[in-house]
């Protein structure tokens, strides 16, 4: 399933190319280009998958990878940008140096053939996403970085509110 494809899938050149490739490979009955997904539907959609694949050349934030991990999906991702901080290679999924089609296919096929590993990666990924990447923790770590960057940064919390002048 390919989500977040353009609204007019039938008119999109990349979508048409994916459909033709799926047909040539004989898997067109299992490939569905569904267009954008509403945010509230995303967890249900993710939980219906077996793995999450991110082959972006560069993903600066890794948000989609983290959402997939939070839903218990093992991840196969390119080791570039955000996924390198989120995915623990061979613990929560696989990080690939290259997203060449043969490398990606081998990794996905391997993951699909190992149900126990897939399950272990999914459990570890959900645990990592829920413990390490909560908004509260990210905000706290961001504050800590700003604190240490300030002259005389003493690690004390920044004052927030009207009387913090």
Give the CATH number, domain containing residue 101: 3.40.50.2000
- Are 85 and 145 found together in one domain? yes
133-147 pLDDT, tens digit each: 999 999 999 999 998
- Are 20 and 78 found together in one domain? no
- Are 29 and 64 found together in one domain? no
Express as a percent the part of the chain with pLDDT over 90: 60
- Are 88 and 110 found together in one domain? yes
- 7 found inside a domain: yes
- 112 found inside a domain: yes
Give me the chain's average pLDDT, please.
87
- Are 97 and 62 found together in one domain? yes
What's the confidence (pLDDT) of residue 157?
A: 59
Sequence-distant (≥ 6) Cβ neighbours of residue 90 within 8 angstroms: none
Express as a percent the part of the chain with pLDDT over 70: 86
- 81 found inside a domain: yes
Domain extent, residue 113, equals 50-149
Cβ neighbours around 78 below 10 Å, total = 22
The count of structural domains within the chain is 2
- Are 1 and 27 found together in one domain? yes
- Are 65 and 4 found together in one domain? no
Model confidence pTM above 0.85? no
- Are 127 and 62 found together in one domain? yes
45-86 pLDDT, tens digit each: 999 999 999 988 888 999 999 999 999 999 999 999 999 999
- Are 72 and 110 found together in one domain? yes
Side-chain-side CA neighbours of 59 within 13 Å: the count stands at: 21
Stretch 138-163: mean pLDDT? 75
- Are 26 and 57 found together in one domain? no
């Amino acid at each position: 399933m390919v989500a977040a494809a353009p609204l007019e899938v039938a008119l999109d050149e990349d979508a048409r190319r994916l459909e033709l490739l799926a047909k040539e490979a004989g898997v067109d009955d299992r490939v569905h280009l569904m267009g954008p997904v509403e945010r509230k539907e995303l967890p249900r959609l993710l939980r219906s998958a077996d793995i999450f694949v991110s082959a972006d050349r560069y993903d600066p934030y890794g948000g989609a990878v983290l959402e997939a991990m939070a839903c218990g999906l093992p991840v196969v991702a390119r080791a570039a940008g955000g996924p390198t901080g989120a995915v623990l290679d061979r613990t929560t999924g696989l990080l690939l140096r290259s997203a060449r089609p043969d490398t990606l296919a081998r990794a996905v096929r391997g993951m699909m053939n190992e149900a126990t590993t897939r399950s272990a990666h999914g459990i570890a990924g959900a645990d990592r996403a829920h413990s390490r990447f909560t908004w509260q923790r990210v905000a706290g770590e961001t504050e800590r970085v700003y604190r240490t960057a300030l002259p005389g940064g003493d690690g004390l919390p920044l004052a927030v509110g009207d009387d913090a002048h």
